[in-house]
Structures are given as C-alpha cells and as structure tokens.
Structure 1
Amino acid sequence: MRHRGHPAAIRQDMARAVRLEWWNVGWTISIIIVMGITMGGSQAMKTAWVEDTLGLIPPLVFLIASHFEARPSTKRFHFGFHRVNSLGFLVAAVALATVGLLLLWDSAMTLIAGENVTVSSVRFLGHDIWLGWFMLAAQAYSIIPPLIIGRKELPIAERLRDKLLHTDALMNRANWLTGAAGIAGIAGLGMGWWWADSAAAAFISLGIISDGVKSLRVATAELVDGVPRALDSDDLSDEAALIAKALRAHFPKTRILLRETGRYIRAEVIGAHAPKNFDADSFDIPGLECRWRLESIAFHPPGKP
C-alpha cells in the first residue's frame, strides 16, 4: 500500500467533513425529536419523520468509515480499509431504497382506502390551538439545518471524491424538500383536502426511492470492481479517463483496467513489463489534479493472466 492513512492532500477536508457530520448528527436528532412530538396522525409528518430518522444513517456511517479508512494495512487486511467507505455507501443506499418503497406502499394504501385524517386541537396556555400549527412549525424547523449542511457538504464531497458524503448532501436536499412537501400536506388538511396529506407522503417517498436506487447502482458497481464512476452519474469519472488515456499513450497495445477502492483508483496494465525503476507517483498524467486518487499501477507481463 502506498498510503498510510489519508494523504496530506485531503486531510484538511477530511477533518472538515468529520466536524460537519457531527453537527449533522446533532441537528438531525433535534429534528427527529421535534417532529416526533408534533407528528399526530399525519401521514406526511410520519413519512417525513422516518426520512429524518434515515438521515442519521449516512453521517453515522461516514464517521465510522472515516475512522477505519485511515488505518494502515494489517496481517488480516493486507490492502487496508479503503473499502469501508464503499461498504457504508452500500448500507446507506439499501436503507434508503427499502424504506422508501415501504413508505410509498403505506401512503398508496391510505389513498386507496380513502382514510380521512384529521388534525385535532390541543390545550395550550388556556387556549385551544390547532395541532397543525405546531406541525407546520416543526416542518419549517426541519428545513433549515439540512439546507445549510447540505450546501456545505457538496463542495467537500467533490474535493474528496466521496460518494457517501455526496449521498448525504443529496439526502439533506431531499430532507428540506420533504419539509416543503410536508407543509403543503398539512396546509391541505387544514383546508379540508383529506387526500393532501397522503399525497404529500407519497411524493416524499418517491424522492427517497430515487436517491436510494441511484446510490445502490453506484455502490454495487464499486464493490464488484466496476470502473470508477463520477459522483453524480453512472459515467466514468474524469480522473479515471485521464489515467486510462495516459497509460494507453505510454503503453500502447496493452489492456488498461481500472477499479475503484473507496475514494482511490487502482490501475492495471495487462500485457506489459513494468519499466525499470517505475514509480507510480512520478508517472506523468496530463490534466490530473487529484493526483492522490491514483493508489497504484500494477503490471501483468504478456502471457500471464
């Protein structure tokens, strides 16, 4: 292994990401408490509360993964722990997709059954107050932290090439959109539209499913040694394309294989002997800014598998 722990190029951003995720966990817990207290019988509030609870998974998994990822290789794990991040990404993706499907089913069944959800009043300081006002306040509060944290996470995730952190940023965006949908659903109940609450819940769950399926595709490809993907799509990442181009130019008539290990890229040159005193660190790759991403270059001489 060339790296012991995180390379110097990303240590500062890793430290920022860890601090930001601890803040994320704290704010999310406060949102879960507030939403749970004011939930009542609202389907939209219930769905939003579940999504907020799911929102704890990516930051917690990131914090665990970042702790193990920085560890050096051991006798039992010769290649280190870089793929812990990939494993955490898969866990978060499966949780998102599964729960999103369950919530969509629940909302659809409520709409089909035509259940009329009512929001009662509560006695507060000697006055009867519609519980919907507390629900609206809770939803409004649930919008603010995800909006701020998600915007801070995106540039860090891009610099770190961290799919788990990027997924968390997308989920934070989904959370504040969920809050907006929840407000519409509660307001609809207040206007007597019995279907508005469940319709808002179904809309929220569709967003959860979409994020989960996209993340699941990328996480699965990474764990089965697929080519390095871009953060926000299934396309080959720019860094991987530059590495492959440079290797093909330097070693023509060979087969270039690339795979992603966490945030790092490993390259293999099939059909060539390693040049004398070859050093992957000094190999020229025009246009590659994130040099730290290239973990290693291995050679397989002609005639060997």
Structure 2
Amino acid sequence: MTRTKLRFGHTELPDEQERALRRAVRLAWWSIGFLVTAVTLVYLVMGSSQAMKAAWVEDLLSFIPPISFLVAVRLAHRRPSERHPYGHHRSVGIGHLVAGTALFAMGAFMVFDSASGLLKAEHPPIGLMEVAGQPVWAGWVMIAAMVYTGVPPVLLGRAKLPLAATLHDRVLYADAKMNKADWMTALGSIVGIAGIGLGLWWADAAAALFISASILHDGVSNLRVATSALMDAQATTVEGDEVDPVVTRMDALLQGLPWVAEARSRARDEGHVLHVESFVVPVDQHAPSLAALREAREAAIELDWRIQDMIVVPAEELPEEFLPGLAAEREQ
C-alpha cells in the first residue's frame, strides 16, 4: 500500500525531509516518555536540596519544546485556507516563542530564588533513607538520579540537531540544544550534593544558581531568535545567527538568466518554509513574457524545498525602499 506523503501546507516534503520529520516526531515522543520518568524520580528524591529542586523545575520545563514541536508540526500540516492564505507555518514560530517565554520567566524567578538562598546562608540537610532495608545517605540516591537524568537527554539532543537543520525547525533546534546542555544541569546538581556531604553548605545554592542561570540563558537566546523571526526579519539559518545562504543562491540563479540584468530577493521565515519576493530588472527594459517569469520561479523553487510561496516581480529598477541593504551594498 502506498504511504501518504507528508507535507507542510501545500509543500510536499522531499524524501529526506519526510524521513527526518518521522524520526523527529518519534524522538519527541521518546523525550516526553523519558521526562515523565525523570520528573517523577527527581521529585521523589530531591528532599530540601535547592540544586535538586532547580533540576526538577528544568526537567518540567523540558516538556515544553517537544510538546510545542508536536503541536506546531500538526498545525503546519494544514493546507492554506481563505482565512489563512499563507498556511499555518507560523505555528512553529509561536511554539518557539512560547518555549522561550516559559524558560525566560522561570529562569529569572529561579535565579532570584537561588541567589536569595545563597545570601540567607540556608543549610539544606541531607539525611539517611532506607534502601532495600539498609540505611543509605540520601545524597547517593540523589546523585544516582542525576546520572539517570543527565545521560539520555544528551543522546536525544545529538540525534535531534541534524534533524532540526534538515527540517529548518527552530523549536526542534531549541529542544536539541537544551537536551545537549542537560549534562551540565546533572553535573551541577551532583557537585552541589557532594558539597553538602563535604560540609560546604553554600555548594547546593551555588549549584542551583548555576542551573537557574543556564535556564535563563536558554530563555533569552530563544526569545531573541523567535521574536526576530515573527517580526519578519530577513530569513536566517536555523541557528538564527546569519542570513540564510539560499537567498544569495537564488539571486545568483536569477541574475544568470539571459533576460535578467539585476535581481535581488527578500525572504522571511514562515516556520519551516520561506516566503520570497524577488525583484528582477529585465535587460534593456524589455518586459518578460509570462512563460519567462514562470520558468524563473520554477528554477528558483528547485533550489530548495522550502521555497514554495514565491513571486517574481519585474521592475524598471531595484526598489531600495523594499531592499534596505541595497543602498549600502552599492556604496561599497
């Protein structure tokens, strides 16, 4: 039986992206399943340790990116409608914004809470607990729990990163980066617990402050990229730190057409896909035929699977009001 091809809106995914999406969805569900066990385990053993509480809160917040990814992917599948003629691709940006906001808000609160505990010189007690009928220092159980919560996320994060790039999915990318950094949370908690065992009362609060600062940093970086994309910034790579190279490649392709004298494009990130407007100046000001415009658009679309919603606009000259970087480029 033929399997139904996956799509984002009216964009049918190529085989590579389809395989990546199916794998990413499986990894998101695996992440959620693991987090259920991790959150339960840490809650049962955390006691009065601030570092353990911070790690527990971070595990709770780690639910947000995979859930946001699954919801955004489901919405992005919907075809464009009369009310949403551009499709539902912005669901990815909304999911990214929600994740970033939650991380920022909770991180800021936890930094304040952890710093207050450090200034108050709170001494968290870690006593004994019974395991298999034997008294055991509770710190060893906490450390074992942190080892369990620290290893699988790193493996999941390493698996998600290439998929995020293949799908151009920033929610998945943020999830992968958080997963890869979870070892620092686990290590920080272990150091804090060990410090208490060695009589260093401040180690626990310091570890909690370190974890809280990591959460806050994730929130700030994700908020910056998410808000920039939602404000129609020039399309960037999935990391959000440089202009997407597909724009330059598209301009080079259009300028290589025999009837085009100049070409410049502007592209905005709709989520997984790009919305592109390309302005072309015909040679000798001769108006191109409809067939020539169609062929130019089709050639550009073949460059990258994300380019579907694209228009090619003939112009007497490149409009600087719509291409703000053009004037500076000409001055160089």
Using the size of structure 2 for normalisation, the TM-score is 0.84
Q: Does 1:214 align with 2:214?
A: no
What is aligned with 2:309? 296
Higher mean displacement: 31-40 or 9-18: 9-18
Give the AA of the match of 1:18: V
* CA contact 1:116–1:194 (8 Å) conserved in 2: yes
1:165 to 172, 177, 190: 172
2:88 to 77, 81, 85: 81
Shift of 1:185: 0.8
Q: 1:147 to 1:157 in 2, by over 3 A?
A: same
Q: Secondary structure at the match of 1:283?
A: helix
CA distance in 2, matches of 1:73, 1:227: 23
What is aligned with 2:239? 232
Q: 1:245 to 1:259 in 2, by over 3 A?
A: farther
Shift of 1:96: 1.2
Q: Does 1:267 align with 2:247?
A: no
What is aligned with 1:34? 41
What is aligned with 1:109? 116
Shift of 1:6: 4.2
* CA contact 1:147–1:172 (8 Å) conserved in 2: yes
Give the AA of the match of 2:118: L
1:148 to 152, 155, 162: 155
Shift of 1:246: 3.2
Shift of 1:249: 5.3
Q: 1:280 to 1:180 in 2, by over 3 A?
A: farther
* CA contact 2:297–2:312 (8 Å) conserved in 1: no
What is aligned with 2:76? 69
Q: Does 1:174 align with 2:190?
A: no
What is aligned with 1:58? 65
What is aligned with 2:298? 282
Higher mean displacement: 51-60 or 257-266: 257-266
Rg larger for: 2
Higher mean displacement: 262-271 or 17-26: 262-271
Q: Does 1:123 align with 2:130?
A: yes
* CA contact 2:267–2:274 (8 Å) conserved in 1: yes
**Over the residues paired in the alignment, what is the CA RMSD in angstroms?**
2.4
Percent of residue pairs identical: 36
CA distance in 1, matches of 2:75, 2:224: 24
- Between 1 and 2, higher relative CO (CA 8 Å, sep ≥ 6) is seen in 1
Shift of 1:253: 4.4
Give the AA of the match of 2:218: D
1:247-291 Cα shifts (integer Å, max 9, x gaps): 4555544552111110212211246577522146631589x5xx1
Q: 1:248 to 1:261 in 2, by over 3 A?
A: farther
* CA contact 1:48–1:204 (8 Å) conserved in 2: yes
Give the AA of the match of 2:29: W
**5 Å matches for 1:178-197?**
178-197=185-204
Shift of 1:12: 1.5
Shift of 1:166: 0.7
CA distance in 1, matches of 2:111, 2:238: 27
Higher mean displacement: 43-52 or 65-74: 65-74
Q: Secondary structure at the match of 2:82?
A: coil
1:70-100 Cα shifts (integer Å, max 9, x gaps): 1111222111111111110111111111111
* CA contact 2:9–2:89 (8 Å) conserved in 1: no
Shift of 1:229: 1.5
What is aligned with 1:14? 21
Higher mean displacement: 124-133 or 193-202: 124-133
Shift of 1:61: 0.6
* CA contact 1:2–1:295 (8 Å) conserved in 2: no
* CA contact 1:229–1:235 (8 Å) conserved in 2: yes
Shift of 1:234: 2.0
* CA contact 1:17–1:156 (8 Å) conserved in 2: yes
Query: Structure 1 stretches of 5 or more lacking a match?
Result: none
